[in-house]
């Protein structure tokens, strides 16, 4: 901690970055100096699409709007005020969105203490619970940049049918929807047919960079957030983005890039407890999907607390985040990080976006595309059309069916130990749970238990939510991952209105499609299917807790 306090601090507009200079100086040559010499700060602030090479230039030209979208987003404020007043009687806000369409508003509302139900799942139990909660007082924000996201379309269909089943006319049902999408998307036309309110988003901003566009602001405003403050915070920081000095976003980006070039290519994201809640989940998608491709990348590892296993390691850069520090507060909040980032939420969003783009320059990759995301989607569509592949468990133990790769031991504890022992010195384990993240919430404890047992970085993702986040890194990043997939029996399924499949079938197809994509890279995938979810989760946690590093 003393190193953070004694070293240079990069600060602007209330955002401070501690420790970045020491990370940069650990490299044989200063990454930051090289970036400044190449004019990167000014070029990025000026939206120079050539920064990531000729192959990325066409994509970058239509994806750099995030640099100043916070200024254009002010044009939404009047519309948002009118919309909030019009829908004042609908006080239960549900956000149906995936990845970049849901992660930022979840951080905003959690941090500012406003209620928001985020529906980013195909688990029938979780969807059913949302549908049964204050339906007559619900407004559903359907958010999809492309307008064709299968999960979001399924949510829209389910809510539309639920409103009609509750006795509403189609005109009345339409009033319960707000559609956020890009201009000209299929969802824009659907919104007109539904009679729904429509807010058009900035088309020159990719989903994971869209925190300060309509995707982040509409659900947050409806939930009661004064979103103009976020724009003010970002705008204050924006004046520093073209500078060579006193540019905290540049310092952060240079540190991320420098660490990755020194084989510290895993970034542990730790909240320091100073008032920003859940930013790690948002930054996880931003970093993983932006950098994990062409066999390189930075793997974000969201850890539960500064004391949690997996926050440190020889190949791990530990970065804490939080709100502005009060006088006398220590950076990191006890996390003892390599880098600490503190400041207001609106500035945090812009700083991490800028830093991720800078890390892309250092790594020589395009931070705006996601070439491997469609792979699991295509597999899912094929499975929905042809049916789930027939699979026989390797063995069954208690409430868990185990589907293990060849060579794995024939008991649950042995199979888990085998998976961990195969990680090696540079590997990581991804736990992927296709379950209900509320009813089956205890499953998330697997991350820390397996990190403790393995001594290696372990990530945790709820499926299919993570497919829109770390899923890109799993397939496009360094092929050093091992994968633990957890699925569960569906006690009561739920139809997707107008489609020939149920939510349970869609969830199972997404899990199977992702398994196929991962197995095709010859990486180990261990699947555990819980025949009884509650009993299976308890059994699995016991088995993981008994493992020893």
Would strands 395-397 and 400-403 be described as parallel, antiparallel, or unpaired?
antiparallel
What tokens appear for 335 in the block?
């996390």
Q: What is the DSSP string of 286-298?
A: HHHHHH-BTTB--
Which CATH number describes the domain made up of 10-65+241-363?
Answer: 3.40.50.10490
CATH match for 68-228 among 1.20.210.10, 3.30.200.20, 3.40.50.10490, 3.90.105.10: 3.40.50.10490
Q: What pLDDT, in 10s, does the model give residues 463-508? A: 999 999 999 999 999 999 999 999 999 999 999 999 999 999 999 9
Backbone angles phi, psi at 73, to 5 degrees: -65, -15
Residues 30, 303, 413, 547: is their CA dihedral positive or negative? positive
**Runs of H (alpha helix) within 401-502:** 412-421, 446-454, 471-476
pTM: 0.97
User: Where are the chain's structural domains?
Assistant: 10-65+241-363, 68-228, 373-546
Question: What pLDDT, on the 0 to 100 scale, is given for residue 5?
Answer: 62
Question: What pLDDT, on the 0 to 100 scale, is given for residue 334?
Answer: 77
Q: Are 268 and 303 in contact (CB under 8 A)?
A: yes
Side-chain half-sphere exposure of 264, counting CA atoms within 13 A: 21
Distance CA 368, CA 49 (A): 11
Distance CA 455, CA 452 (A): 6
Question: What pLDDT, on the 0 to 100 scale, is given for residue 1?
Answer: 40
- How far is CA 432 from each of CA 55, 170, 410, rounded to the nearest angstrom? 32, 38, 21
CB 538: neighbour CB atoms within 10 A? 15
Query: Do 10-65+241-363 and 68-228 fold alike per CATH?
Result: yes
Fold classified for 373-546: Rossmann fold (3.40.50)
Low-confidence stretches of the chain (pLDDT < 70) are 1-3, 5-6, 549
């Amino acid at each position: 901690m003393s190193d953070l306090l004694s070293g240079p601090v990069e600060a602007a507009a209330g955002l401070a970055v501690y420790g970045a200079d020491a990370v940069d100086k650990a490299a044989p040559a200063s990454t930051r100096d090289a970036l400044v010499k190449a004019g990167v700060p000014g070029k990025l602030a000026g939206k120079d699409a050539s920064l990531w090479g000729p192959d990325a230039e066409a994509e970058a030209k239509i994806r750099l709007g995030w640099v100043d979208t916070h200024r254009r987003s002010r044009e939404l404020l009047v519309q948002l005020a009118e919309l909030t007043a019009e829908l004042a009687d609908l006080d239960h806000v549900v956000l149906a969105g995936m990845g970049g369409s849901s992660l930022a508003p979840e951080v905003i509302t959690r941090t500012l203490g406003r209620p928001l139900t985020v529906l980013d799942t195909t688990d029938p139990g979780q969807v059913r619970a949302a549908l049964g909660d204050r339906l007559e007082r619900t407004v559903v924000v359907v958010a999809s940049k492309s307008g064709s996201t299968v999960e979001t379309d399924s949510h829209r269909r389910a809510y539309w049918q639920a409103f009609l089943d509750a006795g509403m006319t189609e005109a009345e049902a339409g009033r319960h929807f707000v559609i956020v999408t890009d201009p000209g998307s299929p969802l824009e036309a659907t919104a007109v047919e539904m009679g729904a309110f429509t807010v058009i988003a900035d088309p020159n901003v990719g989903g994971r960079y869209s925190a300060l566009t309509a995707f982040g602001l509409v659900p947050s405003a409806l939930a009661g957030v004064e979103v103009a403050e976020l724009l003010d915070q970002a705008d204050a920081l924006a004046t520093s983005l073209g500078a060579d000095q006193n540019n905290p976003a540049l310092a952060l980006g240079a540190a991320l890039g420098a660490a990755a070039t020194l084989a510290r290519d895993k970034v542990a994201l730790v909240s320091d407890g100073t008032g920003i809640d859940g930013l790690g989940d948002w930054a996880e998608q931003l970093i993983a999907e932006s950098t994990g491709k062409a066999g390189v990348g930075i793997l974000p590892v969201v850890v539960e607390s500064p004391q949690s296993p997996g926050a440190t390691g020889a190949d791990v850069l530990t970065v804490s985040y939080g709100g502005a520090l009060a006088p006398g507060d220590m950076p990191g909040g006890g996390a003892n990080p390599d880098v600490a980032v503190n400041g207001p939420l609106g500035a945090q969003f812009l700083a991490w976006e800028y830093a991720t783009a800078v890390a892309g320059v250092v790594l020589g990759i395009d931070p705006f595309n996601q070439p491997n995301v469609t792979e699991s989607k295509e597999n899912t569509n094929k499975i929905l059309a042809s049916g789930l592949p027939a699979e026989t468990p390797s063995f069954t133990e208690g409430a868990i069916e185990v589907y293990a790769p060849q060579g794995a031991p024939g008991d649950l504890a042995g199979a888990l130990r085998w998976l961990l022992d195969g990680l090696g010195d540079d590997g990581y384990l991804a736990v992927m749970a296709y379950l209900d993240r509320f009813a089956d919430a205890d499953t998330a404890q697997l991350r820390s238990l397996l990190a403790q047992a393995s001594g290696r970085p372990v990530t945790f993702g709820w499926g299919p939510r993570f497919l829109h986040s770390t899923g890109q890194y799993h397939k496009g990043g360094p092929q050093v991952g091992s994968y633990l997939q957890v699925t569960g029996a569906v006690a009561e399924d739920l139809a997707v209105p107008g489609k020939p499949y149920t939510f349970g079938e869609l969830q199972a197809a997404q899990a199977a499609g992702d398994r196929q994509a991962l197995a095709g890279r010859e990486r180990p995938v261990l699947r555990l299917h819980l025949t009884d979810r509650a009993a299976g989760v308890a059994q699995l946690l016991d088995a993981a807790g008994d493992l020893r590093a």
